[in-house]
């Protein structure tokens, strides 16, 4: 039986590596106060059995999430690679689901 790379790490661990990667690029002070309340984090596997972890927000006018940060996490080596890093300033918290004043 072939051991897949994804069997070496669970999704929660991959998310932890992705959060650490996000924090290397975005200090807590540089993030809008609404970010943690409005963000959804999910993952899937690519064709090489790497986790693709996506940070998304969802505008109130739709149910379609918009990814603003995406990271590839290699479960065999724990190496992370940023695939998408959008400017957070393009989003207004009050226009997003999960926003509370």
* Residue 62 CA to its chain's centroid (Å): 20
Q: What is the pLDDT of residue 42?
A: 97
List the structure tokens of 66. Answer: 């918009």
CA distance 69 to 76: 22
Mean pLDDT value of segment 37-60: 95
List C-alpha distances in Å: 13 to 19, 66, 87: 10, 23, 25
Of the pLDDT bands very low, low, confident and very high (cuts 50, 70, 90), residue 1 is: low
Q: What is the pLDDT of residue 2?
A: 58
Mean pLDDT value of segment 26-32: 92
CATH code assigned to 5-95: 3.10.450.170
Question: What predicted TM-score, i.e. pTM, was given to this entire model?
Answer: 0.88
List C-alpha distances in Å: 19 to 40, 86, 101: 12, 15, 24
Query: If phi over 0 gives left and psi between -120 and 50 gives alpha, with beta otherwise, what is residue 37?
Result: alpha
CA distance 44 to 54: 9
Q: What is the pLDDT of residue 6?
A: 66
pLDDT digits (tens, 9 = 90+) for 61-101: 888 999 999 999 999 999 999 999 999 999 999 999 888 76
């Amino acid at each position: 039986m072939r051991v897949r790379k994804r069997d070496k790490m669970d999704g929660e661990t991959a998310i932890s590596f992705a959060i650490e990667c996000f924090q290397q690029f975005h200090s807590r002070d540089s993030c809008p106060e609404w970010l943690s309340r409005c963000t959804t984090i999910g993952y899937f596997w690519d064709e090489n059995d790497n986790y693709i972890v996506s940070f998304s927000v969802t505008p109130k006018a739709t149910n379609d999430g918009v990814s603003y940060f995406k990271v590839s996490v290699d479960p065999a080596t724990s190496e992370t690679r940023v695939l998408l890093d959008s400017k957070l300033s393009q989003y207004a918290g009050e226009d997003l689901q999960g926003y509370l004043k």
